[in-house]
Chains A and B, each alone.
Chain A
């Protein structure tokens, strides 16, 4: 449970503390990768709650989404299509909000009824 949070802090500290100056040329791409990572995490938490988490799908999703987002952005920049980054961000953020909404409803339901499962909160249609 705490391992991922610890890893987040360790990763941040490892790259933040050394006195290396990163050039701001590729912040667009890195920002995109950050949002892809957040999307993957939100999706992972949701699937853990639902009890159908698969590490293969999670890892492959993270990498392929990063690659596709980078590729799309690169393509857009090369072809001179503007605001591709914004378009990808919108798509990803919508997904993040969807998953966060799911997580929120589960958490709220658990707050009021202790012994509840995801199946009870979200019955299969």
Chain B
């Protein structure tokens, strides 16, 4: 048993130990990456440079906001003048279409994603005893999803063919969920029109909405579709209290 002899010619133990060492190295690498898995930040990430970048973007944003404001003023003026019948009627109908699209009073179609959410299988069989169990899909789950979709720039959303508009309420009513005062139940099919990658990315974010649902054993899937049809909202409650303001509210009124 001399070390020199062992070094000279290949020993029977070299290959197996090499193999296990390879596996061990791989396992350790996976372990380290998984435990400290946050995306690596460049250690010398040039704070000053980044700050300058932020400042530049902020000033750009301010410029764009100003431009947006002037354009909106121009548009209001044009609409005012149109209302006086000075220009052709097409711009009014365009504006009307735009507003209808945004308010959800007209059916829309376009590219987007479809999210399907179903209660866990366990909930189906044990539902009576579990009662208000966390493994059912709740109104807050849908609210979180809708919120996430809106944050990701969804242009139109519908839950089980109930269009989600500005005045839509989503709430638990006993075993079902009310959307627009219409009962909807599992499986929930949430269709959203918007930039597909943005929407799917926001929903599939690690530890995001879908991950939280999956942790509760709720079945969820996201599919991208090239053509999604969303219905119009069936009924909008009439506005009784709100009126169009005659003049813009003054700023800094809370002295």
Contacts and interface: CB of A to CB of B under 8 A. Distances in A.
Contacts of B29: 11-16
Interface stretch (A53-61, A67-75, A80-88): A53-61
A44 B37 contact: no
B54 interface: no
B30 A22 contact: yes
A99 interface: no
A123 to B, nearest CB: 15
Interface stretch (B5-13, B80-88, B125-133, B197-205): B5-13
Interface residues of B, number: 31
A30 B22 contact: no
B13 A15 contact: no
Contacts of B14: 1, 3-4
A92 B20 CA distance: 17
A62 B13 contact: no
B28 A12 contact: yes
B168 to A, nearest CB: 34
A26 B35 CA distance: 10
Given A117-B1, A118-B1, A58 B28 contact: no
B254 interface: no
Given A23-B206, A53-B13, A8 B21 contact: yes
Interface in B14-52: 14-35, 37, 39
A8 B22 contact: yes
Q: Which of B1, B17, B19, B31 has the most CB of A within 10 A?
A: B17
A11 B31 contact: no
A14 to B, nearest CB: 6
Interface string B48-76: 00000000000000000000000000000
Nearest to B35: A27
A10 B27 contact: no
A24 B39 CA distance: 13
Contact of A48 (B13, B22, B24, B32): B13
A22 B21 CA distance: 21
9 contacts: A1-B14, A4-B17, A11-B26, A12-B26, A23-B37, A27-B34, A44-B16, A48-B11, A117-B1
